[in-house]
Amino acid sequence: MKQVELYGRVRYAVKIQGMSRREAARLFGIDRRTVDKMLAFSTPPGYRRKKAPNRPKLDPFVGIIDQILEDDTKRLKKQRHTSKRIFERLRDEYGFAGGITIVKDYVFAARQRQREMYVPLSHSPGHAQADFGEADAVIGGIQCRAHYFVMSLPHSDACFVCAYPAATTEAWLDGHNRAFSFFGGIPKSILYDNDKVLVARILPDGTRQRTRAFSGLQSHYLFEDRYGRPAKGNDKGNVEGIVGFARRNFMVPVPQFESWDAFNAHLEEQCRKRQRDVLRGERESIGARLVRDQDVLADLPPVLFDACDRQATRVSSLSLVRYRNNDYSVPVAFGHQDVWVRSYVHEVIIGCASEEIARHPRSYDREDLIFNPIHYLPLLGKKVGALDQAAPLVGWDLPDVFVTLRRLLEARMGKPGKREYVQVLSVRPEMS
């Protein structure tokens, strides 16, 4: 502070009172050259380097360091050179005789210069971005990893969040259905990353070849799909930011709900509450700006898209159909036949030709067996010897009266009693 005050006193004495520079230097006890600097600057200008410092030990190796850093940009982040590794290579391979500190300082400055800069963007109403995030949750008393779908409208910063057991094809499709219903219309365009659920292949000219399921969704709702550059999350920075915001604000502490539906009802309510917020740099709330988005959204079609993954497969000799590494049972009458599978978020439907033949709760485990005991009763009627070891019957919760019935039938009829017991189960499928 004294130095700034001294600047003012010296400048006032010379420029206003007419004191000579020599006299000012003597009176204030400073060098004549200091007086000249004070007259040139109204406040202390700070230290000014006239030329770059000499680095006689490092300068001959600067080109090598720059080349190493340039080559690293084409490699995995976890396999790039550290400052210490660059120093070791300079010392061992090129005869560098300096210390590690000067190398670290140069590498730090060089990496600062390499960091990417971004242009602030403005967003017109009616366009969207979509992505998935991950967070831990407790559903039905079981801790699991929730994969949550996020769609945002960058113009208004409105968002929709919905959680699923996995970021599967059907989750992407169902997320779009729910988001469009939440916003009350269909955006003009949606910006994505290059997720394999959406993009089957990036062609040499940069165009994306959509997957069959996503092509059906786009054809149903008729929005324009756009894609960011591979590994460039900043291309859709709005939704990336909301993915993090939702995790920090909607899912801390770890959410605990009895079902996925209850969890998603909570997330939807949080999205609605957020619409009252006024974000930094804005004068209107998110909800007020959302009205402009909604004014240009396209109308929803009469029916939502059938949000399922479709596959064709074949029934095994165990009357099982494999889907996503899990096996689901079908009636034994369809053994070895070609069937189709429609997988929804919480349900798997199996059919043959135009007929639906089985329906199961969706399993997200690996190598799981999902049986319906009714499917195997016709076969057990012929192979009653397998009744006691039949895996599909394990855990089948039947009333105690059936246990008594089987004991009485076997006591009276012997082995044929088992067959009679199976026939009784076959005529009461509602007991399953």
Instruction: Tell me, yes or no, whether 97 lies in a domain.
Output: no
What's the pLDDT score for residue 231? Answer: 61
352 and 264 in one domain? no
Give the mean model confidence (pLDDT) for residues 217-224.
95
337 and 427 in one domain? no
381 and 363 in one domain? no
Instruction: Tell me, yes or no, whether 202 lies in a domain.
Output: yes
247 and 328 in one domain? no
Q: Taking 80 as the threshold, does the pLDDT of residue 52 lie above it?
A: no
Give the mean model confidence (pLDDT) for residues 276-295.
94
356 and 208 in one domain? no
Residue 192: domain span = 127-296
Q: pLDDT tens digits, residue range 114-163?
A: 887 777 777 899 999 999 999 999 999 999 999 999 999 999 999 999 99
pTM above 0.85, yes or no: no
Q: Taking 80 as the threshold, does the pLDDT of residue 225 lie above it?
A: yes
263 and 193 in one domain? yes
406 and 340 in one domain? no
Instruction: Tell me, yes or no, whether 133 lies in a domain.
Output: yes
Q: Read off the tokens for 98.
A: 């300096």
Q: Read off the tokens for 424.
A: 């009784």
289 and 212 in one domain? yes
Q: How confident is the model at residue 261 (pLDDT cuts 50, 70, 90)?
A: very high
What's the pLDDT score for residue 233? Answer: 54
What's the pLDDT score for residue 315? Answer: 96
159 and 24 in one domain? no
Identify whether the C-beta of residue 224 lies closer than 8 Å to the C-beta of residue 190. Answer: yes
| Distances, alpha carbon 407 to alpha carbons 66, 96, 389, 410, 413, in Å | 84, 90, 17, 5, 10
Q: pLDDT tens digits, residue range 373-416?
A: 999 999 988 888 888 889 998 888 888 888 788 788 877 887 78
Instruction: Tell me, yes or no, whether 301 lies in a domain.
Output: no
Q: Taking 60 as the threshold, does the pLDDT of residue 205 lie above it?
A: yes
398 and 361 in one domain? no
Q: pLDDT tens digits, residue range 163-190?
A: 999 999 999 999 999 999 999 999 999 9
Per the structure, the count of domains in the chain is 4
Instruction: Tell me, yes or no, whether 47 lies in a domain.
Output: no
What's the pLDDT score for residue 234? Answer: 63
163 and 212 in one domain? yes
Amino acid (1-letter code) at residue 103: V
Q: Read off the tokens for 48.
A: 């000014």
Q: Which region holds residue 351: left if phi is over 0, alpha if psi is between -120 and 50, else beta?
A: beta
Percentage with pLDDT > 70 across the chain: 97
248 and 163 in one domain? yes
Q: Taking 60 as the threshold, does the pLDDT of residue 2 lie above it?
A: no
Instruction: Tell me, yes or no, whether 82 lies in a domain.
Output: no
CA–CA separation, 353 and 9 (whole Å) = 97
